[in-house]
Amino acid sequence: MKELLKKLTETAAPSGHEANIRNLIRKEIEPYVDEISVDVMGNLIARKGKKQKDGHRILIAAHMDEIGLMASHISEKGFVYVASIGGVNPLTCVGSRVVFLNGTVGVISLETEKIDKVPTINQLFIDVGATSADDCPVNVGDVCVFDRPFIDMRKRMVAKAMDDRVGCLLAIETLKQIKESPNELVFVFTTQEEIGARGATTSAYGVDPEIGIALDVTLSADTPHCTPVNPVLGEGPCIKVRDSSLIAHPAVIEAMKKAAASRKIKVQMEVLRFAGTDAGAIHTVRSGVPSGCLSIACRYVHSPSEMIDTSDVENAIVMLKVLLENPIAL
């Protein structure tokens, strides 16, 4: 599990440029599915099983993309100014290394001598070692992501892009383990979630599911001076109740609770006051789709070093397998 998560998180694939991670995931899952395809938006769609009398067509979505930066201007001295891809926090950027998809490595810095307020993206630049615009190996429109390795801390794991490569891991491992199900399972590894759940929107329309389940991270609240609310690391997978894009369907919530209880897995109920997931897009497609989200608590989301708990991931895989192997009563 950890070796696969290392591969997933260390792959560079910002929104709109998911080919590298899609190819990796496809290679992992192709022997375990009945049908696999890529749609116009770049979503990887893997189908497994046929719907039986008491089953449903279930869309399980995990987004492949990660946040990143796009070169917007090259200065005369070869410094690269950037625009954000997704919710990049400038506070976590300064001093971080990045890698462009063409292999160029750079360091993010700030164009001010005195830092007396929160910087903006427009103040950031990337130093790629160039001395002029002519010898800069980056062009306007090139994209980059944080350049950080996966670290195994035994009980905890740290990497860039845990959001949402850990969701991809849950889908991959569960897909591999499921042998029989009354449900038609459609695993969709989606694109462009970080800039508006665009891949989930189009793929859900095409799949036309009867139930939608997103797999993603959620903000933890267990570090100093955090507002004391759920969830926290190490206390189990999270069942989403709401976020800014979704009020989860009660029947989906109940099915998740039942799956966890059947294996005596401790879970956390997640009420997120802002942000959203692919489930927010899926549940409004066509005439509506009963939807929910299984989340992993994560510290330092959208930073170069996102942290999750190993046991939360292991229990989420068990819970998701049970959920998908059984009928869901709507």
Determine which one of 193, 194, 270, 306 is catalytic: 193
Q: Give CA–CA dist 104/255, Å, rounded.
A: 47
Question: How many Å apart are CA 47 and CA 202, to the nearest integer?
Answer: 16
Q: What is the dihedral of CA 216, 219, 222, 227, to 10 degrees?
A: -150
Q: Identify whether 193 is a catalytic site residue.
A: yes
The bridge status of strand 291-298 relative to strand 211-219 is parallel
Q: What is the DSSP letter of 294?
A: E
Which token pair is 43? 């979503």
Alpha carbon separation from 298 to 24, 62, 157, 161, 169 (Å, rounded): 23, 16, 10, 11, 15
* Rounded Cα distance, 279 and 329, in Å: 19
Residue written as tokens 């800069």?
Answer: 136
Measured CA distances, 70 to 86, 96, 125, 145, 318 (Å): 10, 15, 11, 9, 38
Task: Name the β-bridge partners of 309.
Answer: 156
Residue for token pair 């959208």? 302
Residue 98, H or E segment: strand 97-100
Within 10 A of 87 (CB to CB), how many other CB atoms are there? Answer: 12
Residue 92 DSSP code: G
115-120 LR contacts (CB < 8 Å, sep 24+): 118/90, 118/91, 119/90, 119/91, 119/94, 120/90
Residue 328: what residue type? I
Which residues are part of the catalytic machinery?
193
